[in-house]
Structure 1
């Protein structure tokens, strides 16, 4: 990305709580597919239980450790929750103010977008709802939603993703 600051257009939005179903994993970033590949399974599980989706599938980054394992959830927002089963859980995304950015392009480009978001937040004098413990980031709400259905658009360079990172109160 040439200059991510010129290409991103962050917005601060107020979001309410959002119920969702998820599968959680502890993965290294270079093996992210092990959690990402669980999304179709989760969607299928919800569909067979008649769950009504309330938004696009997403990844929630609970912890980020670029050198070790990060705790990540593959999730789907739902209107009402079926009974959890096995390693499928039900939780609520927290309400609050979020910095959001829409990205169109390959997911590999997200690192530059995220770097630009951090720079933008610093310039605005804002703070993330995140703490760092022993070099590991612990986020209250860091969401990467996939607005494009890969079954309809297999070209990843055309995918639309929304990043939403919660700000401190």
Structure 2
């Protein structure tokens, strides 16, 4: 069941890419790389990794997406890594249990619930795209520990305006 939660600012280190729905792994598969890089520098990881959807083309399947890992404090970055902050605020959330291919339906459920509740998303439309202030998939299950996709837990967190 969806709910609304209040979340604080959360610093993270991430990478960004302009991709299509078919090339999501180009960005998503870098989560492990980012976590390893952080641990190799002694940075404290402060939560589950995530994908952050910045924008979706309204006429096609292009999108801009980030892969990120929360950190406990400032981290000096290099290369194509960047440091940023997930913004504080009210978020509509829904936890999905199961394989990642069920996230499309879980997203549909959360968006429909938000519409039924009269919620306004932190999203604007322009330049042929939806631009989201903070739309997250948070991966709570480490597939190296739990290898049964039926047991994966993923939180959808969409910021409200």
TM-score range, shorter chain: over 0.9
How far the C-alpha of 1:113 sits from its partner, in A, is 1.0
SS at match of 2:34: helix
Name the CA distance, whole Å, in 2 between partners of 1:73 and 1:39: 10
Name the CA distance, whole Å, in 2 between partners of 1:64 and 1:155: 30
Query: 1:39 and 2:31 equivalent?
Result: yes
Query: 1:17 and 2:9 equivalent?
Result: yes
SS at match of 2:51: strand
User: Normalising by structure 1, what TM-score?
Assistant: 0.91
Q: How does 1:1-169 map to 2 (within 5 A)?
A: 9-65=1-57, 67-168=60-161
How far the C-alpha of 1:154 sits from its partner, in A, is 2.1
How far the C-alpha of 1:134 sits from its partner, in A, is 3.8
* Structure 2 portions without partners, runs of 5+: none
User: Normalising by structure 2, what TM-score?
Assistant: 0.95
SS at match of 1:62: strand
Name the CA distance, whole Å, in 2 between partners of 1:29 and 1:51: 31
Matched positions, count = 160
Name the CA distance, whole Å, in 1 between partners of 2:72 and 2:117: 34
* Structure 1 portions without partners, runs of 5+: 1-8
Name the CA distance, whole Å, in 2 between partners of 1:111 and 1:29: 11
Name the CA distance, whole Å, in 2 between partners of 1:141 and 1:86: 24
